[in-house]
């Protein structure tokens, strides 16, 4: 028996890219660092908040890569002169990716009290009605 894929359903023409996005999202690791929240701040507004304690603004980068919002953090060298008796604050590099739907854009980013906030906005396009003429052959 052959497996019928999501993108090959007869009512979903042209949605094969959506199937690839779902597969890519499912394959991402379940690393819990850094912890994050996703909240809806309005009818068409969202906010992703990452706990990035110990990172400075210049240690973080936010990029869009093929509809994926990628947030990377890399801390500079801590110095060899410190001797830790206990080290509970993570100081490792990270990369966290979020796949954004078409029409969702990054509105801005800010840093406050060790939290990185990335604001997203859904742009609702005006409905377009298009009449297709039928030609005679």
Gap between the Cα atoms of 134 and 106, Å rounded: 41
What is the domain range of residue 80?
33-122
In this prediction, residue 32 carries a pLDDT of 76
Number of domains into which the chain is organized: 1
* pLDDT over threshold 90, residue 87: no
95, part of any domain: yes
In this prediction, residue 79 carries a pLDDT of 61
Rounded mean pLDDT of the chain? 81
CATH for 60:
2.60.40.790
Q: Which residues pair with 119 in a beta bridge?
A: 47, 108
102, part of any domain: yes
Band (106; pLDDT cuts 50, 70, 90): very high
pTM given for the model: 0.68
11, part of any domain: no
Percent of the chain exceeding pLDDT 70 equals: 72
106, part of any domain: yes
Gap between the Cα atoms of 103 and 125, Å rounded: 8
1, part of any domain: no
């Amino acid at each position: 028996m052959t497996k019928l894929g999501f993108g090959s359903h007869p009512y979903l023409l042209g949605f094969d890219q959506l199937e690839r996005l779902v597969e890519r999202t499912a394959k991402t690791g379940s690393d819990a660092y850094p912890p994050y929240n996703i909240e809806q701040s309005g009818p068409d507004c969202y906010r992703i908040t990452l706990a990035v304690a110990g990172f400075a603004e210049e240690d973080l980068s936010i990029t869009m890569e093929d509809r994926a919002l990628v947030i990377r953090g890399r801390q500079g060298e801590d110095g060899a002169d410190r001797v830790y008796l206990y080290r509970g604050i993570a100081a490792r590099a990270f990369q966290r990716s979020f796949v954004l739907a078409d029409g969702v854009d990054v509105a801005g980013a800010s840093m406050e009290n060790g939290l990185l906030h990335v604001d997203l906005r859904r742009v609702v396009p005006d409905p377009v009605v298009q009449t297709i003429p039928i030609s005679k052959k």
